[in-house]
Structure 1
Amino acid sequence: MPSIALMIIAASAPLTVVAGGVTTSFAVTGSLGVPLGFLLIALILALFAVGYTAMSRHITNAGAFYAYVAQGLGRPIGVGGSLVALVAYNTMQVGIYGLFGFQLSMFLEAKLGFVSPWWMWVFLCIVAVGVLGVNRVDLSAKVLGTLVALEFVAVIIFDIVSLSVAPEGVSMAAVNPATLFGPELGLILVFGVAAFMGFESGAIYGEEAKDPKRTVPRATYLAVAVIGVFYALSAWAFSVGIGPSQIVQASQEAGPDLMFIFMTEHTSVVVADIMTLLFITSLFAALQAFHNAVARYLYALGREGVMPSGFSRTSASGAPWAGSVAQTVIAAIVVAGFALAGDAFGAAESMFGELSFLYPVLTMFTWLTNTGAAGLVLLMGLTAFAVVGYFRKHPHNLSVWTTVIAPFVSGILLLVMFFMILGNFQLMLDQEVADATTFVLPGLIVAALIIGIVWGLALRRRKPAIYAQIGHGTEPGAYGTELIDVVPED
């Protein structure tokens, strides 16, 4: 359970969220309600987890959401959900590479005078993530566990320093409910939900857990509780350290550097440098967690014939090495594309000025991670309704709260949040004027869902034996033709 919980928390990248996510939320929303926003999102996700974890006790599948949606809403929608998951997890993972390469390159240049292209460090990181990815999850958990522990220590130190500095006193202004329930509520939720991405990934490791029916639910609840409370407390401490009257303006002016500027001023350069390094390792931890998620989705889809069977190959330790290698190749290709485009962008520096060096952050990181967040929110919304559908067919003597009320309400809230993300996508990309990316990027998510549904319907007509396996990869007889009899149910 601790290994899975650490993998979930690593995906949310605690130090990255506090340094980048909190300041971005304050800057864009212009509201002090960010700390309570984290708690509200945590409550929504905890509500979602009621049905989600109940379903995980009955379905153990590395495809997680894919299997849940397939068994709860029908196989075609399940295939659509699987493609949404692949697009979302891949874009989140590859997008984070942009920020990782930029931060490491800038840090080495500032401290050692070593000038290097951002993409060089990304390709080295891709190799490291790939090596860990082809091994059993325990190895990744040991590496990530150390990094996550150090992240928590760093943020706790920052919180303590913030509360001790408190230029306006230990003010409770940022935790006043009036700051949350205003016109900025929608924006607070839109920008805050990305901080929780990865919390849902516990079920992905179910097949590698010793006791998945107990481990996955416990790890999920532990992760959402720790993440929600920790982020809320840290965001409040951030407002106290800078001052409630100054936090919005300071966030708008300094962005993610605000934390490190603050620590330099009130501790020492050494402490700030250590935190910067931990910020970089925080990104590495998130990269590893999302890489593992993609590998396991590809494994589940390959095993059930929705994708080429080669993806179902595993190593001696049980890790899905073929899916891991595939994700590594995808990352390398996309990064190479952005690197080449970045060179062209840099060549036009006279046109873009000082923005050219921020290319991997302004494009690769911003575009892809926001796209991934939108996809995962949609996927969770579909899964919530799938819980209702599944327990309607298989009651299992559970309460109405667990099987209907909690998942239905959370599903409505998540879908509302998804449409809010779509409505604010231009703002999330920090665009003054909408352009093609404003529509193409979220369009990838919608297109993946539609293509998946069409592919599922095509499998039902052309390959009924494979269609019968969709979402049932670990069940007895899943590979037998006897399951063709269940096709008419969909």
Structure 2
Amino acid sequence: MRTLKTHNIVFLVIAAAAPLTVVSAGVTAAYATSGMPGVPLGYLLCGALVAFFSVGFCAMAKEIPNTAAFFSYVSAGLGKSHGLAASSLAIVSYTAMQIALYCLLGYTASSLFESIVGTYIHWAVWALIALSLVAFLGIKSADATSRILGVLLFLESCAIVFFCVLAIRNPADGLSIGTLSPSALIGTGTGTLLAFTIAGFMGIESSAMYSEEAINPEKTIPNATLISILIISGFYGFSSWSIAQSTGESQVVDSAQESGSDLFFNFIASQGYESIVPLIQLLLVTSLFAAVTAFHNSISRYLMALGREQVIWKNLGTTSENGAPVAASLFQSCFGLFAIATALLAQKLSGYDESFPSAIVFSWMSNAGGFGLVFLLLTTSVSVYFYFRKHKGLYPVFVTKVAPTIAIIGFGTMFVLILANFENLIGDAELWYLVFVIPTIILLCGVAGFVRGELLKRSHPHIYSNIGSGHPPAKAACRVGQPLSRKTLN
């Protein structure tokens, strides 16, 4: 059922980016970990790079409407086994982010509740409450979910705007644009800074996942994608600049290293608004909830697409009358329960204190998810280039060659920089081995998907030949890699 309009998809996309979480925690972490003041410029540059990526990405969305965007586009551009590799990488990356967000939400809610009420409730209880709500929304229509996320998104955006207004009205050293200078972005911490800033755009590609539920997807998906990119890059760039004004640009790195995510809330309290800080912290919890819901939707739709094509258990490909991937959503909810239980068990066995879900799980899983996303964006950019190289004349050269080439160069450079600076992202010299373990595990998941494709080619050629079509094998409307007719699109 096609019910989603442009604004509905924008809500779903931006919710995955978790604006208040990024501004209050991600921005300060970028300043603190990289040791560089060029965070605002980093967000703007990443926004420009993602915009170039979206040009070819949206063109692919018109030609190949499939809820599993990376899967179908890579299948069309590089081959079916490569497409399964991309789908495996996408599911693992999104799942890593979802686990990270569940644990951070539980930890944040537990700390907030104890500070207000004085009673401690374990973080896992809050994570399970969130899981229950996410599971409920997961079997509802995307339209209904987008309305709820839209309200939460509006409230957290108001909190960010409130902070920015205070920072501009009361700058520590007067207003300055030094953080927008190229020199503020060049240094030994450039790769670390870019890793944090590109993470703020995680979920931007999810717009295409709703192509089968969108009204007039040929216009809705490109419009929603562009609007989301403009809002996210502008919002994060301006907010990170405002944080620098609140401390003084010369002190922002030291302040971030000293206060961490409390920097955002401490400044609001210092301006005479201490009484509303708990309310804004509550909005941080709802921001995390909105993000974990959005990632749940993305994973469910990937599982549904793979099940529909019988690449995995075919029952996961079933949907309800309102188009929700019910079976895949319930499966993902069960996995979320398993992940929370595993994190809780790991905490008990390790003897780690109550910061475990934030300091360990969130740090490791979010870095893993972010690494996987950048590699996916790079791979998809390459796929777009080769797809339109095989199918010439469909769009202008800028769409088919120039924009994808810029995206390939940009994401390729970013991938190398992030890999070279992965030790800084882990933040613990004693855990040096994670620099190799985490990227290796993520990439091996992609290899496993590729191997699955090669095995299907030999054992179930009818399923293999149908990969990426968006239809069950017996009802495949076309071969992936060929432009779909407008009749097929409808």
TM-score (norm 1): 0.94
1:140 aligns with 2:137: no
Deviation string 1:74-106 (CA, Å, 9 cap, x unpaired) is 001000000001100111111111110001000
Tell me, in whole angstroms, the C-alpha distance in 2 between the residues paired with 1:433 and 1:439. Answer: 13
**Equivalent position to 1:479, from 469, 474, 477:** 474
**C-alpha deviation, 1:422, in angstroms:** 2.3
Matched, 1:278 2:283: yes
Residue 185 of structure 2 aligns with an amino acid whose one-letter code is: L
Measured in 1, the distance between the counterparts of 2:442 and 2:311 equals: 19
- Among 374, 380, 394, the alignment partner of 1:377 is 374
CA distance in 1, matches of 2:409, 2:174: 40
2:395 paired with 1:390:
no
Query: Which residue is 1:424 aligned to?
Result: 421
Structure 2 residue aligned with 1:260: 265
**CA 1:483 to 1:209, structure 2 compared with 1: closer, same or farther past 3 Å?**
closer
For 1:74-85, list aligned pairs within 5 A: 74-85=79-90
Query: After the TM superposition, which of the residue ranges 172-181 and 57-66 deviates more from structure 2?
Result: 172-181
Give the corresponding residue for 1:360.
Answer: 357
**Cα distance between partner residues in 2 of 1:418 and 1:486:** 27
How many residues align? The count is 477
Partners in 2 of 1:286 and 1:134 — Cα distance?
17
The answer as to 2:193 corresponding to 1:193 is no
Deviates more, 1:404-413 or 1:276-285: 404-413
Distance 1:402 1:118 in 2: 47
Corresponding residue of 2:172: 167
SS of residue matched to 1:395: coil
Residue 89 of structure 2 corresponds to residue 94 of structure 1: no
Matched residue type, 1:479:
A
Q: Are 1:206 and 2:211 counterparts?
A: yes
How far residue 408 of structure 1 moved from its aligned partner, in angstroms, is 2.1
Question: Does structure 2 retain, via aligned residues, the 8 Å contact 1:468–1:483?
Answer: no
d(CA) in 2 for partners of 1:211, 1:141: 17
Equivalent pair of 1:468/1:486 in contact (CA under 8 Å): no
Distance 2:94 2:36 in 1: 30
Does structure 2 retain, via aligned residues, the 8 Å contact 1:101–1:120?
yes
Deviations 1:198-249 (A, max 9, x none): 1111000110001111111110110011000110111111100111122111
Q: Structure 1 residues 484, 221: CA separation in 2 closer, same or farther (over 3 Å shift)? A: closer
Corresponding position of 2:235:
230
Aligned AA for 1:216?
I
Question: d(CA) in 1 for partners of 2:237 and 2:104?
Answer: 24
Q: Could you say if the C-alpha distance between residues 396 and 301 of structure 1 is closer, same or farther in structure 2, counting changes exceeding 3 Å?
A: farther
Change (3 A) 1:427 1:481: closer
Q: Is 1:454 aligned to residue 459 of structure 2?
A: no
Amino acid at match of 2:380: T
Shift of 1:194: 0.7
Q: Distance in 2 between matches of 1:123 and 1:482?
A: 41
User: In structure 2, how many angstroms separate the alpha carbons of the residues matched to 1:484 and 1:395?
Assistant: 17
What secondary structure does 1:265 align onto? helix
One-letter code of the match for 1:471?
Answer: G
Cα separation, partners in 2 of 1:457 and 1:417, compared to 1, 3 Å: same
CA distance in 2, matches of 1:472, 1:94: 30
Shift of residue 189 of structure 1? 1.1
From 391, 397, 403, the equivalent of 1:406 is 403
Q: Distance in 1 between matches of 2:424 and 2:477?
A: 51
Mapping of 1:49-128 within 5 angstroms? 49-128=54-133
Specify every segment of 5 or more residues in structure 1 that has no aligned partner in the other structure, as ranges.
350-355
Give 1:379 deviation, angstroms: 0.8
Secondary structure of the residue aligned to 1:268 is helix
- Compared CA separation, residues 463 and 482, structure 1 to 2 (3 A): farther
Residue pair 1:465, 1:484 contacting (<8 A) in 2 also: no
Q: Which residue of 2 aligns with 1:352?
A: none
Shift of 1:419: 2.8
Secondary structure at 1:57 match in 2: helix
1:58 CA drift (Å): 1.0
Residue in structure 2 matching 1:239, options 240, 244, 258:
244
Residue 436 of structure 1: how far off its partner (Å): 4.0
- Show structure 2 runs of 5+ residues with no match: 1-5, 483-490
Q: CA deviation at 1:7?
A: 0.6
Change (3 A) 1:486 1:68: closer
Structure 2 contact 466–480 (Cα < 8 Å) conserved? no
Q: What secondary structure, in the 3-state scheme, does the structure 2 residue paired with 1:116 have?
A: coil
> Quick one: structure 1 residues 445 and 106, their matched pair in 2 at CA, closer, same or farther if it must change by over 3 Å?
same
1:104-147 Cα deviation digits (max 9, x unpaired): 00011111101111001101110100100111101110110000
Cα distance, 1:481 vs structure 2? 8.2
CA distance in structure 2 between the partners assigned to 1:405 and 1:178 by the alignment: 27
Superposed CA offset, 1:166-205 (max 9, x none): 1211122222232123443322212211111011110001
Correspondence 1:317 to 2:317 = no
Q: Which range moves more in the overlay, 443-452 or 199-208?
A: 443-452
2:255 matched residue in structure 1:
250
Contact 1:465 1:483 in 2 (8 A): no
CA distance in 2, matches of 1:7, 1:481: 29
